[in-house]
Structures are given as C-alpha cells and as structure tokens.
Structure 1
C-alpha cells in the first residue's frame, strides 16, 4: 500500500512493479509491490537490493512504451549477470501509469479496513479492484491480495500495558490504549501512543472491532476484565487475551459464565498469554505476546 499511495500522490507518471511468480526461496513474498518513478525514486522493495536498479531500467522502458512488461530474475532468467542471493527465481510485472481511479479506490478500501485484490493483466496492466481472494494467477489475471494489517486494542494499567503499547506503536501497527487509570494514559500519550479513558465498564460502543483486531488485557486487578471481555467475545476479533496466571484464568472464566458467556465463547479467550511461559519482565512479556498475535495472522 505504500507503493500504491506513492503512485496516487505523485505529480508524475510512475510504474507499479509486483512480484507475480516465485520459484524457490525469496526475500519478498508473492504480491510484494514497489513504485518506481523516472527521477529514480522508489517506494517499497522487491528484493534485498540486488535487482532494484535493473527493475528501474525496465520501468523506464515500460513508461516509454506505455505497456506492461514482465521480466524474470534468477532461475530461468536471460540476465545471467544478475544473481539472486537466495538462489530462487522471480517474475516481476511492471505496470506503467496504473489508473488513478483504481489506486484511489484501493486507498479507500484500505482506510475502511476492507480486504480486496488488485487484478493485474500481463497485457493490460491494472484492470480492476477485485473482491478478497488469495494472491496468485486465476484465469490469466494475477490477483495481489491486500488485507487490513493487525490492529491492537490494549487495555490495562501499569508497566506491562505501557511497554506493550510502546512496542506496538514502535512497530507502526494501528493501536489504541484504553485504561481506567489516568496515570497510565498520561505516560503512554507522552510517547505518542493513542489513548482513551475508560469511564465505564465494558468496551465503548463506538470502538470498532473487526477480524483483524487483536485485543489484549494487562490488568492485575481483574475486576475490570469481565465486562470488557464479554463485549470483545461478541466480536470477530482475531485474538482476545488477558494477562494472569492459570488461577486468574479460572476466576475470569467463572465471572464470564455469570455474565452469560458459553463455553464456546470462553474457549476463544487466551490466557495465560504469550509464547514464553511465566515471564514476569514487561519487555519480555510484550515481545512474547506480540509474537503470539502475529503468529496467528
């Protein structure tokens, strides 16, 4: 999406380059995109840096000729002087002057957190914005899937909450820290983290949750948890987890049962959280939980 945004905002024509086939190992995944401009500016990457300059050369040619171009590097490539360190093969499709109306539509869908796919023809370039589908070729068109990135809702109080929110913020994932504790919010906001005061129990009704949202609770006082978890378990959140021991989990589950949650609902709740068991250091816990969430994407 960085490449799409760069092309949509540019005052000059540019080229959208995508990896449309991969053979063997690859530094970047199928569907990875890069924007290239005549002045040499590039946004995004297709490799570890070993092919970008040559891709720029072909992108300039695609702009002059006004038609898409496919090139291959590594295995099966005529460019024997350009080697891929990973030893695989890449097919790159270059799309000159992709239609602005389609680029802006892609940006709108991205902002609305709606999944979609770019439909690319090797002969005609970017044809349309398709419904969500896997990345790859289908009936002669290459579809590059674009799905919302993980979004984090962070609840809690104290150092674990602040450190985890800081880690997520540093990784540039969209996030919101919600807390009953004003000191926690003040410390987090000083680092540029988006915050919100919880004035009542439960999830605020205007806070949106979709299937790419991960919600994590870092409370030592578990009394605040049941109403928040009840509301979260009624959403499509991809991850719902709460800090605490197995004993805390048992008490939490019992409280959720009293609030009307069934066993299937409660089974979605992660706790204890994180890939590293029984860690007590806030930094290690933050890394452990983030890794667990991202492993499920």
Structure 2
C-alpha cells in the first residue's frame, strides 16, 4: 500500500473509501513480491497492480464486489495449478496470496499519518520523506485479519491488533524491520505467549530515498543522475570545479561545489549516509579519485564504483594500496564501473552503471535471462509461502 502513498493520501484527505488488494506471499515464480498492491476506490479509479496483468482483472472484480457489499477482509489465492489457470491463473507458474481490505478514511485516523510520511508530505507541506512502516495481520484468527499497526520513529504506535500486549510486540518487531529499511513477514507464534493462535504480519516499510552520489560534473554524470532519480535515488552531483558543477547542467539533481572527499566525509559525519548509499566516481583524475576512494571504501556504503580504463584501474589500485587500503577494502571497488553492454554514449554508459548497481543490490548475475538463471531473486526472504487448498 505504501508504494501508492501519494495517490492514496489524496483520496484519504477527500474521504474517499477504497479497497486494497495486497500481495501477502508468493511461491515459485511470481511477477510481484509481498507488499505490491492494487487499489480500487469508490469512484472506480484503479491504482497499481499485483501480477503484471495476468490476474489483475479478477482482483479488480473482487475489489469492486467488496466496495459494493461485505467489507470484511478476504484472502484470495491464484496459481498456475488452478482449474481456471488460463483465465486468471499465473501463467508464469507461480502462486500468489492476497489480502483484500476495505478502507474508510473516517474510521482509520492513523492512515493519513502513515501515508503522509511515506509520501513525504505533512499537512500539505512536501518534505524529503520520513520513515514509516505498516504491519498488517495477513494470516491468523478471522477477528484479527486485516488489523494494522503503524510505526514511526519517535512516535507512539498507532492502530491496534486488538490487544495491548500484541500491539507492543508487533510494534517492536515492526520497528526492527523499519530500522533495517526492509519489508517482509513477521511470525507471532503460540509459543511466544503473545497470542492464542499463530499470526503472520506483513510489514511494509517506507524510508527516505537512498542516496546516489555522483562525483565528477561530466556528461556521464548528468545521464546517471537522471537515471538514478528514475530508479528512486536522491541524486547528488559533486565536483570542486564551480564552472562545471551548475544546476543548469544537472536538472533534477542536487549540485554541490566542493572537494569530493571533503563532501563525502562531511555527509558521513552528519549521519546522512547509510548502507543503501551508492557512490560513483566518474572523474578518473587522481587528485580527486584517490582521497575520495580512500574515504569511500572505508565506509559501509552499498556500492562504490569508479570510471576508467583497465590501465587506469591498475594504477589506481596501486596508489590505493600505497595509501594503506587493505585487500578487503579494495575488493569492494567496482572498477571499471558498469556492466558490459557495449555502451558508447553517456546515456548508454549510465545504463550500464545503473544495471550493475541493481545487480549488486539484489544479487543478480548480470547475464542474459535466456541462459536459464533465476528471474526473481530473493523471493523467499520476502514471504514465500506453502499454500494448501
């Protein structure tokens, strides 16, 4: 639901009821992962999708039925093994489970605050976005199915699962995932003494956009910053040369005139970098590269890449070793930066860099899917399920 925060916030503020169909678990190959949501509002508008098309029509019909009638939460399952697989089943061979919920903004006061935080909007004033997580009971006693709690740092837990002890436990477990910037499922079992029947919570986390730091005010940087913004990163271009580092050359990106290593350290000291931050060094000039990479490779960043030829790379490695970097620290450097796409233009080069960043983030191999490598990586960690009829 939080992936549609901008659109849903507007509907909540207008008091428009809507039904959400949220993926709560997947088995096998499935196009969308837990947390993906399709929404149908009382005006008939449709937002999002849950399957890339193959079951969306059937889910849309179920949402319309819920809007017009029974508002109790409902579980739907679709899979290739269904008798009507050709009509609404997942032709990719997987199985998905969804939870349908009816939302009345007037009856859910915590909903607006959660959506506002995820959308980066508070009382109509845009911000950079704030961390928020929504935990929903997706499996368990029928009386608790669909109940939610909302967790935001420094704010009391909102909503309720119907029991004060459960609320505290769910809030703490949800806060752990939010702190890690992760979405996923949380199991609350009978053995924990928190509930009489086992329950599964789907935790949807929304955190401020990760940082993409591009060092070097060149044409490749402009293309990479645009592509990074498209992928959901907050892009910054930094260069010590004020003549080249201008907002006009890098629309949509934050532009900083400073020595790259000094800016990076200042951002780290201010707590503005984290384990999702990506740093791309495009200057291939030792005056900038060496102090910058020496600092970056000693920080817990998600990805550090540097542009340059293979000869430049070998010379750079030698200088970094002389500067005291260890083999373990140097092994984190992606250089020459990017995947082999045969790129020629700045735009194509930016695509090759972005592709490597995505592959590194999700454990992808970077090879053609036609070779038989897995299409979906990491599905079990987001709530894989074993379904029974």
Provide TM-score, normalisation by structure 2.
0.65
Between the aligned partners of 1:5 and 1:79, the Cα distance in structure 2 is 35
Between the aligned partners of 1:59 and 1:82, the Cα distance in structure 2 is 15
Map of 2:236 onto structure 1: 176
Deviating more after overlay: 224-233 vs 252-261: 252-261
- The 1:77/1:31 distance shift into structure 2, 3 A limit, reads farther
Aligned residues: 297
- The 1:141/1:5 distance shift into structure 2, 3 A limit, reads farther
What's the offset of the Cα at 1:188?
5.6
- The 1:128/1:78 distance shift into structure 2, 3 A limit, reads farther
Map of 1:135 onto structure 2: 184
Question: Is 1:69 equivalent to 2:74 in the alignment?
Answer: yes
Match of 1:240 among 286, 297, 304: 304
Match of 2:205 among 129, 146, 150: 146
- The 1:265/1:168 distance shift into structure 2, 3 A limit, reads same
Matched-pair contact (CA < 8 Å) for 1:202–1:230: no
Map of 2:279 onto structure 1: 215
Map of 2:101 onto structure 1: 95
Match of 1:291 among 333, 355, 361: 355
- The 1:278/1:225 distance shift into structure 2, 3 A limit, reads farther
Between the aligned partners of 1:77 and 1:186, the Cα distance in structure 2 is 57
Between the aligned partners of 1:79 and 1:137, the Cα distance in structure 2 is 32
What's the offset of the Cα at 1:280?
5.7
**For 1:194-213, what aligned pairs fall within 5 Å after superposition?**
194-198=254-258, 201-204=261-264, 205-206=266-267, 208-213=272-277
Map of 2:333 onto structure 1: 269
Between the aligned partners of 2:337 and 2:323, the Cα distance in structure 1 is 22
Matched-pair contact (CA < 8 Å) for 2:215–2:260: no
What's the offset of the Cα at 1:295?
0.5
Matched-pair contact (CA < 8 Å) for 1:119–1:126: yes
Matched-pair contact (CA < 8 Å) for 1:203–1:232: no
Matched-pair contact (CA < 8 Å) for 1:2–1:43: no
Match of 2:138 among 121, 136, 147: 121
Map of 2:375 onto structure 1: none
